């Protein structure tokens, strides 16, 4: 799997109130792969530090590890303490909600989404400058305080791939909405039973799958192949190519280094 882990916390609603902390990732077919669950009294520094220390046993700290999270200060504190080598970035969905709440301008959400998802720095700064013009710099200043490198794919130091939000964690919370009203032991038993069903179904699907790619990746590859047939490609040398897209833009692609100008 891509080494991108989504961190989230949600309320336990029953008689024994508290928070359910989760760590999850995308599997090779873009499905939820739960990694860890923890039940704590609340989302505080001590609780998150405990959770990350437990997580460390199965997910070791590494420079190519990435965490996606909302801007909860206790989560940041726990990651910096337990995972000092890993990178962390903001969930675009939570950031959009904050921008909507503070600035009350829906068109900013579109510009923020375009800027954050841009693959090239020049595209990011073009959309970011549009935000400055639209909102007289106030929103831009807020995003700078958040840290542009934490929200923009093109400026992020690690590899977050196409995973820009913690939607996966939201889906996991939705799947557990009924169980979050149970006492702790029945809640965890519900989680165990649910995961057992998921993995049994996926093993059967994987056994039927033909080829090296998962169905979702094969679908994405097919779409990209269709899009790329309009590109002109010429060899420069060895594994380097000049690629011209449908708009006449030139790019230098190095397949060995996996880079594109």
Nearest to 26 by CA among 205, 222, 239, 202: 202
Q: What is the DSSP string of 75-123?
A: HHHHHHHH-SSSEEEE-HHHHHHHHHHHH--THHHHHHHHHHH-SSHHH
User: For the chain, which domains are there?
Assistant: 1-90+165-229 (3.30.420), 92-159 (no CATH), 230-261 (no CATH)
Q: Is 68 helix (H, G, I), strand (E, B) or coil?
A: strand
pLDDT at 52: 96
pLDDT tens-digit readout, 178-197: 999 899 999 999 999 999 99
Other beta carbons within 10 angstroms of residue 20's beta carbon come to 23
pLDDT at 16: 75
pLDDT at 136: 64
pLDDT at 245: 87
First to last CA, the chain: 26
Nearest to 7 by CA among 48, 40, 39: 48
Query: Can you list the residues of the chain whose pLDDT is less than 70?
Result: 135-136
Taking the CA atoms of 104, 107, 113 and 119 in sequence, report the sign of the dihedral they define: negative
Rounded CA separation 38/54 (Å): 9
* pTM given for the model: 0.86
Rounded CA separation 37/175 (Å): 14
Rounded CA separation 195/35 (Å): 10
Rounded CA separation 45/77 (Å): 7
pLDDT tens-digit readout, 89-106: 999 999 998 888 888 887
């Amino acid at each position: 799997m891509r080494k991108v882990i989504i961190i989230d916390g949600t309320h336990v609603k029953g008689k024994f109130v508290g928070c359910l902390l989760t760590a999850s990732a995308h599997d090779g077919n873009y499905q939820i792969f739960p990694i860890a669950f923890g039940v704590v009294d609340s989302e505080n520094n001590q609780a998150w530090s405990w959770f990350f220390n437990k997580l460390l046993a199965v997910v070791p700290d590494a420079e190519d590890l990435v965490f996606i999270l909302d801007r909860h200060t206790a989560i940041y504190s726990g990651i910096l303490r337990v995972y000092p080598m890993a990178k962390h970035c903001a969930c675009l969905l939570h950031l959009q909600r904050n921008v909507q709440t503070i600035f009350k301008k829906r068109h900013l959400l579109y510009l923020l989404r375009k800027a954050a998802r841009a693959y090239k720095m020049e595209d990011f700064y073009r959309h970011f400058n549009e935000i400055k013009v639209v909102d007289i710099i106030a929103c831009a200043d807020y995003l700078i305080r958040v840290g542009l490198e934490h929200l923009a794919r093109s400026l992020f130091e690690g590899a977050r791939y196409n995973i820009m939000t913690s939607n996966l964690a939201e889906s996991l919370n939705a799947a557990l909405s009924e169980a979050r009203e149970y006492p702790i032991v029945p809640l965890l038993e519900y989680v165990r039973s649910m995961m057992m069903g998921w993995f049994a179904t996926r093993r059967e699907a994987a056994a039927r799958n033909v080829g090296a790619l998962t169905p979702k990746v094969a679908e994405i590859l097919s779409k990209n192949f269709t899009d790329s047939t309009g590109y002109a490609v010429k060899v420069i040398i060895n594994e380097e190519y000049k690629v011209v897209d449908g708009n006449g833009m030139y790019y230098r692609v190095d397949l060995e280094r996996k880079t594109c100008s």
